[in-house]
Amino acid sequence: MTPEDVSRYLATHPEFFDQFPHLLTDMRLSHPLQGRAISITERQVLNLREKIALLESRLTDFVQFGEENDLTSQRMHDLTMALIPASSPDQVTERLSLHLQREFNLPDHAIRVWVERSDLSPEEQAVMQWVEHMPAPQCGATLHEHALSWLPNSASLHSYAAIPLKHDRLLGVLLLGSGDPVKFYPEMGTLFLQRLGDIVAASMARFQDVRE
């Protein structure tokens, strides 16, 4: 008989310990850390403590994520309220820059918006085509080589987010850079980045003669 056979037997015959109750008190198991023998009841208590500790850790993570999301939502709301009364593309850019630096701690950013798409350099044309085919924000350790030069302090940046700006005829991109290599990474959620792009694109689209 193998240990697997015993395990299957006990799983299919739960009445076994009803027939031999003394085994529950006489059985001795090894302590998972100390190596000494303990009763099955003690071992169950230890298992429950481990499960409780894991659940408490997960709960703490959930609370932290919730608080961070609430804070980000409030900052997004404040940014939206700041951009609504903007009376020109320059004001949109200025207020956006202020909030990215002050509220989101993202001093390294750049924005390009194209309404008229002629008379562009080959490099900017390549970036525009890249953005046109971008269905959602892209994050990671690399950025389109021609767009990288638009970011200040590009030599000290190690992670990036490229957010497409699309609204009616308007096409553009918002670039964010960070010296933290894990600030933006490919597997991260992009819901707030997408909403940021929607807010900025809608704000800029009010001025159809935007030039960058």
**Of 83, 105, 123, which one is at a domain's C-terminal end?**
83
- Asked whether residue 108 is domain-assigned, the answer is yes
Could you tell me if 129 and 37 lie in one domain? no
Could you tell me if 92 and 196 lie in one domain? yes
Convert the pLDDT of each residue in 53-108 to its tens digit.
Answer: 889 988 988 888 888 889 989 999 999 999 999 999 999 999 999 999 999 999 99
Could you tell me if 65 and 126 lie in one domain? no
Distance CA 160, CA 204 (A): 22
Q: How confident is the model at residue 212 (pLDDT cuts 50, 70, 90)?
A: very low
Could you tell me if 73 and 98 lie in one domain? no
Could you tell me if 8 and 106 lie in one domain? no
Q: CATH number of the domain that 114 lies in? A: 3.30.450.40
- Taking the CB of residue 28, how many other CB atoms lie within 10 A of it? 12
Could you tell me if 36 and 122 lie in one domain? no
**Structure tokens of 73?**
């939502």
CA angle 171, 177, 183 (to 5 degrees): 120
Distance CA 93, CA 83 (A): 9
Of residues 154 and 28, the one with the higher pLDDT is: 154
Helix (H), strand (E) at residue 73? helix 40-83
Could you tell me if 124 and 190 lie in one domain? yes
Query: What residues pair up with 160 in beta bridges, in sequence order?
Result: 140, 177
**Structure tokens of 126?**
């390549």
- Asked whether residue 29 is domain-assigned, the answer is yes
The average pLDDT across 131-157 equals 93
| pLDDT, averaged across the chain | 87
> What is the model's pLDDT at position 79?
95
At position 19, the amino acid (one-letter code) is: Q
- Asked whether residue 210 is domain-assigned, the answer is no
- Asked whether residue 9 is domain-assigned, the answer is yes
Distance CA 113, CA 212 (A): 6
- Asked whether residue 212 is domain-assigned, the answer is no
Go through the chain and tell me how many residues it has. Answer: 212
Structural domain containing residue 172: 88-205
Has residue 139 got a pLDDT over 90? yes
Could you tell me if 23 and 118 lie in one domain? no
**Of 83, 100, 135, which one is at a domain's C-terminal end?**
83
Has residue 208 got a pLDDT over 80? no
The average pLDDT across 7-16 equals 84
> What is the model's pLDDT at position 9?
85
Could you tell me what percent of the chain has a pLDDT over 70? Answer: 88
- Asked whether residue 105 is domain-assigned, the answer is yes
Nearest CA-CA partner of 201 in 157, 175, 163, 150: 163
Number of domains within the chain: 2
Contact 194, 137 (CB under 8 A): yes
Could you tell me if 163 and 112 lie in one domain? yes
Distance CA 160, CA 109 (A): 9
**Of 58, 83, 108, which one is at a domain's C-terminal end?**
83
- Asked whether residue 112 is domain-assigned, the answer is yes
Convert the pLDDT of each residue in 156-196 to its tens digit.
Answer: 999 999 999 999 888 999 999 999 999 999 999 999 999 99
Could you tell me if 32 and 92 lie in one domain? no
Could you tell me if 105 and 175 lie in one domain? yes
- Asked whether residue 211 is domain-assigned, the answer is no
Could you tell me if 191 and 95 lie in one domain? yes
